[in-house]
């Protein structure tokens, strides 16, 4: 099954979002557009970097505690994952069901068709799953779920919640909550606040893969919206914002330059040193994750923590 909007509508929405966000101060770009085909491949490469430990830390938790997590959610009729990426983590969790589990509906919600293809292929190896793909934003995907199909587990793994600022994360969790019923569970993967140097290295790796991942958004704007960004005209910079508990990634204009993006009706005059904010990765503590979940109307149930790498899987129920 497939749910998606037309390519024309997608480009129009992309143009509108780019126009709005690049016109604000500071200028920024919505990070969900980082995940085109090349962007998804670069993100996979990031997950293999020695400095980006988050994915491995989470996978180890899912591997070790998968049976406990599933037991804590039983009985389960459906699983919904927001941003499954290549599906490896979900396959790891559902692999803990063994061969004789009840049939399970699996809903994958992702803006990236490439990610959905990979996730679907990966899950095909597991028995008893009915996979439904939603090529959509989290909100649109959640709205498309029919209610009343039995107890469900909603997953937001990989610190995907970290892309949202605190108010945005709360709004996100509240709309998640609104699509759920009493007895449903949410499993949230959150990267924890740790040594500042480690956090910065994870987003500014010596191989330059993360810089390429962020610059790729300029390339996508050039290709899909007819833009003329000079990719070499920007330095990649990260900083730890302690007040907001987040790593911020920026592309900083190396000189005065004019950028035209015809399909978005934009002509940008950028000054030397003028920054464009590309991404934020908000970091949590065990307490702040559950405080956020509580504010969104969830009740804390359990938590599995990787202390070496500072990562937590938080389970809560409606």
Interacting residues with ligand AVJ (CB under 6 A): 46, 54, 158-160, 162-163, 203, 210, 213, 279, 281
Rounded least distance, CB 129 to ligand AVJ, Å: 24
CB-wise, 129 or 281, nearer to ligand AVJ?
281
CB-wise, 93 or 169, nearer to ligand AVJ?
169
Residue nearest to ligand AVJ (CB): 281
CB-wise, 39 or 227, nearer to ligand AVJ?
39
Rounded least distance, CB 54 to ligand AVJ, Å: 6
CB-wise, 184 or 214, nearer to ligand AVJ?
214
Do you find a cis peptide bond into 269, omega within 30 degrees of 0? no
Rounded least distance, CB 161 to ligand AVJ, Å: 8
Contact 120, 131 (CB under 8 A): yes
Rounded least distance, CB 71 to ligand AVJ, Å: 27
CB-wise, 87 or 158, nearer to ligand AVJ?
158
CB-wise, 59 or 210, nearer to ligand AVJ?
210
Rounded least distance, CB 205 to ligand AVJ, Å: 9
Rounded least distance, CB 295 to ligand AVJ, Å: 21
């Amino acid at each position: 099954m497939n749910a998606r909007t037309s390519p024309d509508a997608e480009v129009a929405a992309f143009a509108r979002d780019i126009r709005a966000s690049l016109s604000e101060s500071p200028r920024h770009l919505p990070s969900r557009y980082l995940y085109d085909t090349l962007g998804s491949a670069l993100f996979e490469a990031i997950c293999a970097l020695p400095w980006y430990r988050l994915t491995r830390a989470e996978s180890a938790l899912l591997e070790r505690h998968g049976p406990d997590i599933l037991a804590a959610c039983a009985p389960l009729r459906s699983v919904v994952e927001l941003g499954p990426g290549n599906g490896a983590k979900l396959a790891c969790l559902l692999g803990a069901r063994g061969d004789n589990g009840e049939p399970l509906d699996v809903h994958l919600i992702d803006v990236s068709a490439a990610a959905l293809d990979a996730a679907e292929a990966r899950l095909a190896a597991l028995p008893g799953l009915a996979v439904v793909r939603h090529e959509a934003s989290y909100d649109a995907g959640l709205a498309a779920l029919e209610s009343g199909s039995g107890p469900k587990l909603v997953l937001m793994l990989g610190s995907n919640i970290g892309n949202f600022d605190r108010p945005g994360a709360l709004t996100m969790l509240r709309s998640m909550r609104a699509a759920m019923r009493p007895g449903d569970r949410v499993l949230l993967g959150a990267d924890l606040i740790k040594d500042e140097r480690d956090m910065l290295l994870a987003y500014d790796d010596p191989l330059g893969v993360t810089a390429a991942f962020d610059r790729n958004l300029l390339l996508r704007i050039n290709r899909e919206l007819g833009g003329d960004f000079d990719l070499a005209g920007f330095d990649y910079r990260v900083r730890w914002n302690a007040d907001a508990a987040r790593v911020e990634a920026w592309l900083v204009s190396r000189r005065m330059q004019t950028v035209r993006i015809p399909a978005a009706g934009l002509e940008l005059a950028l000054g030397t040193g003028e920054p464009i904010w590309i991404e934020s990765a908000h970091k949590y503590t065990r307490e702040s994750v559950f405080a956020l979940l509580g504010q969104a109307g969830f009740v804390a149930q359990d938590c599995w923590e990787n202390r070496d790498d500072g990562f937590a899987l938080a389970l809560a129920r409606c």
